[in-house]
Amino acid sequence: MIAISGLTKRYKDVLAVDEMSLEIPSGSVCGLLGRNGAGKTTAFKCLLGFTRPDAGQIRFDGEPLTPATFLKLGYCPERPQLYGWLTVAQHLEIVRRTQPGYDAARAKELIGTFRLDMRKKAKRLSKGQQTALSLIVAIAHRPSLLILDEPASGLDPVMQRAVLDLLIDAATGGATILISSHQIGQIERAADHVAIMRDGKLVLAGELDDLRAGSKIVEATFEGAIPALDGFTGVSRFERAGLTVRAFANGETDAVARHLGELGGRGVRVLDRNLEDLFLDAVSDGGTL
Amino acid sequence: MHYVELLRARRALIWYGAILFSCVALGLALAFKDGPPKFQMSHGSNPSIPVEFLIAGAAIGPLILAAFLAVGLDAEFKTVAITWTRPIPRLAIALRYVAVDGGALLAAWVLTLAAVFITIFAIGIGKYLTFGDHVALSVLLVFGVAVMWYGLVVLVTTLLPGRGAAIAGGSWGYALIVPGLAHIPFPPLLHQVMVALNYLNPMAYLGQGSSARELIAGSGEQHVIAVWLIGLAAVAIATQIWTKREVPA
């Protein structure tokens, strides 16, 4: 389990992370979403001890971060941090020498999956291959806790799928994963929990199914013109497309549907929201929890 | 993580050794071009080559490598995703780096000394070598100078992260220019500043001739203690700072 409580980090005038609290249960995959500059990477830096938080606590399986935590923790950064002058094989040797849990067979399998040449220097690899090597370095010791900062960036769709499968495999094996990505579709496929940050604050967090169930889209089509959409409660925002209105309702779905019908809406129906809807809702100016 | 530094040191030693022995081979080839060379030693009836002199001269090896290797710890800061995610305390990582670098400096000095002795015996002047009373002191001084240089470069690169190459190169400029500045007739206060700057210049301690005596007060033994103390203190401070560094926003 990864438990974050009241995490706050300020850089001079900028409050990069503002009292973030989040619990990621053991064996679950939590997608951390947010626009650029929302505070995701700063939160990761605090988690990993790369920077000291101004306030808050971080626990990994109930323990604070110590060097021993890295026996079971793997981290893949947003931009690959590799030794350009070392080969792929030498990078794996670093992991072998420093991680007692290093799994040579698994590392070899991953090298094959991502088609990396063991003799090639890191600086000669493509951006996607560097990302893949960075990921392999993070997971070659089969960590039970994984922190991944946009691990699929720069990869082609086939490799992105391979990364996704890898994460699902790790999660199936009981690993706890915290992953940030701008590819919401990937998060939706792999994650069972989601946390959304906006301006350093966590504005939405929970189990994905619960979040989906807790808010729906009520859609209705009007004839002639769309009337004034007044008197709604529990609606975070409206979307208009031609004569069709989509109301993003947080609970009270029946009341919203009834009100749209009273306003003359036809073909009123309630739709499930996908993660992208939840995300856009949470990061839009009107979106709050 | 010292594996990375081992590779870095090995690479540096291979390059240094290759250049050094290529120079020796070239020099000997030229010397033997017209048959065995003949040397006239012009020191009266008892010509001699003091070993202390060779030991000090061989310091050029570790001094060259000191500046090169000292930037390794700073370079690690670009790969904290690997370096700082090992189940090893950061201080232990830093100290292992320093230990590897210390070994590499010693190896560079041995390589250089070997090259010097090979040259001397090849051209037939080995018989003039003399061992004075200060061989041990010379060894300690020479290696202390390398440690001091290494320590100061590590410290400055830790204080000014991301500028390792410039600092390493600048250290040579400092070492070569500052002694000269101390001999320029500046106003008394400025002259004292220039002299004082030499106390942080490893090269100023190295020469056992008159210039070193002028710039750095104290005996040979005191110079040895000074260079080791400055070097080790700089390393100790630098490693502490390195372990507490933060990745910027």
Give the whole-angstrom CA distance, residue A277 versus residue B71: 49
In the 8-state DSSP scheme, what is residue A282? H
**DSSP string over B9-33:** HHHHHHHHHHHHHHHHHHHHHHHTT
> Which of B85, B93, B97, B244 best probes binding to A when mutated, by most A CB atoms within 10 angstroms?
B85
Supply the Cα-derived Rg of chain B in whole angstroms: 20
For chain B, give the percent of residues with pLDDT over 90: 49
pLDDT score, position A289:
38
> Which of A83, A135, A148 best probes binding to B when mutated, by most B CB atoms within 10 angstroms?
A83
* Residue A98 sits at the chain B interface (C-beta within 8 Å): yes
Largest separation between any pair of C-alpha atoms in chain A:
72
Q: Which residues of A182-213 are buried (b: 16+ CB within 10 A; e: fewer)?
A: ebbebbbbbbbbbbbbbebbbbbbbbbeebbe
pLDDT score, position B214:
64
B42 occurs within a structural domain: no
Domain that holds residue B152: 47-244
> What does CATH list as the number for A2-199?
3.40.50.300
B36 occurs within a structural domain: no
* Residue A51 sits at the chain B interface (C-beta within 8 Å): yes
| Closest by Cβ to B87, choosing from A70, A75, A134 | A70
Which residues of chain A, if any, have pLDDT below 70? 285-289
B79 and A83 within 8 Å at the Cβ level: the answer is: yes
Confidence grade of residue B45 (pLDDT, cut at 50, 70, 90): low
Return mean pLDDT, chain A.
Answer: 91
> How many domains does chain B divide into?
1
Task: Compute the average pLDDT of residues B198-227.
Answer: 78
B96 chain-A contacts, CB cut-off 8 A: none
- Find out whether B11 and B72 touch, Cβ atoms under 8 Å: no
Give the whole-angstrom CA distance, residue B7 versus residue A90: 9
Using a CB–CB cut-off of 8 Å, the residues of B that contact A are: 1, 3-4, 7, 11, 78-82, 84-90, 246-247, 249
Question: Which tokens hold the place of B248?
Answer: 């910027």
> Which of B82, B100, B246 best probes binding to A when mutated, by most A CB atoms within 10 angstroms?
B82
Confidence grade of residue B213 (pLDDT, cut at 50, 70, 90): low
pLDDT tens string A155-172: 888 888 888 888 888 888
B96 occurs within a structural domain: yes
> What does CATH list as the number for A211-283?
3.30.70
Return mean pLDDT, chain B.
Answer: 88
Element (H, E) at B131: none
- Find out whether A175 and A152 touch, Cβ atoms under 8 Å: no
B138 occurs within a structural domain: yes
pLDDT tens string B141-176: 888 999 999 999 999 999 998 888 899 999 989 988
B4 chain-A contacts, CB cut-off 8 A: 83, 86, 94
* Residue A151 sits at the chain B interface (C-beta within 8 Å): no
Q: How far apart are the first and last CA of chain A?
A: 24
- Find out whether A229 and A263 touch, Cβ atoms under 8 Å: yes
B21 occurs within a structural domain: no
> Which residue of chain B is at minimal alpha-carbon distance from A95?
B86
Position B52 pLDDT exceeds 90: no
pLDDT score, position B210:
45
- Give domain limits for chain A: 2-199, 211-283
pLDDT score, position A286:
52
A71 and B88 within 8 Å at the Cβ level: the answer is: no
- Find out whether A122 and A84 touch, Cβ atoms under 8 Å: yes
Strands (E), B21-91: 49-50
| Closest by Cβ to B79, choosing from A48, A81, A98 | A81
A81 and B81 within 8 Å at the Cβ level: the answer is: yes
| Closest by Cβ to A90, choosing from B7, B79, B246 | B7
pLDDT tens string A254-273: 899 999 999 999 999 998 88
